[in-house]
Amino acid sequence: MRLILARHGETDYNREWRFQGHSDLGLNRVGRWQAGRLRKRLYREPIAVIYTSNLKRAVETAEIIAQGRGLRIVTSENLAEIDFGKFEGLTHDEIVKSYPDWEPSDFSFTAYGGESLEQLARRIRAFAKELRSGNPADANILIVAHSGSLCVLLCLLLGIDIESWWRFRFAPASLTIVEDVEREPVLTLLNDVSHLKIPGASRKGNPG
């Protein structure tokens, strides 16, 4: 199995560096353009199916990629971004000001009404099981999701402790490829944004 991992295109929250999580924003103008560039980049890929998070920004990205190809799109709540709880819609500085006891290195947001890293990982494990059971071993599959969910998925595929999820970066509309998923997964492409060329397109790993 070959997995192509794509982060959704840019939203206004991404541009403003706001924690997005389960906040259900659609793509902004740049994000729609980025998704169009993804469509062109992937046009010759023999994609069997597209799996996408159920959040608007991911679904919209997947729909743009699928335009004109008749590709089947399967939505999964398990691919949604980690829930940041009360932090959603806030910048890092706003969080620090409102919640001075917050420790940025703590990846659990349960104390603020959100999810823990382990809860996110539980969802991603369920998705991976669904993926393997529902597709042939030689399938070429596109997954459109979020920075957090893709980081955890990559950790699980490569046998890396999920606590190291922050070591990966997925820029908006970036591409990552993992080959031989059914045997010994090999990371052959990571956070590639070479298809994005206009000034102002966000390329960093901002939250959500």
Phi first, then psi, for residue 13 (nearest 5°) are: -65, -40
Q: What is the end-to-end Cα distance of the chain in Å, rounded?
A: 27
Give the Cα separation of 160 and 132 in Å (integer).
Answer: 19
146 is catalytic: no
DSSP-derived letter for residue 171 is -
How is residue 79 written in tokens? 């691919």
> Would you state the structure tokens that stand for residue 197, as one six-digit string?
């060329």
- Any idea what DSSP says for residue 87? G
Cα 51 from Cα 78, distance rounded (Å)? 11
User: Could you tell me where the beta strands, DSSP code E, fall in 46-196?
Assistant: 49-53, 73-76, 140-145, 175-179, 186-192
Cα 88 to Cα 144: distance, rounded to the nearest angstrom: 21
Helices then strands, each counted (H, E), the chain: 6, 6
- Catalytic: which of 10, 81, 88, 115? 81
Q: Any catalytic annotation for residue 182? A: no
Catalytically active residues are 8, 81
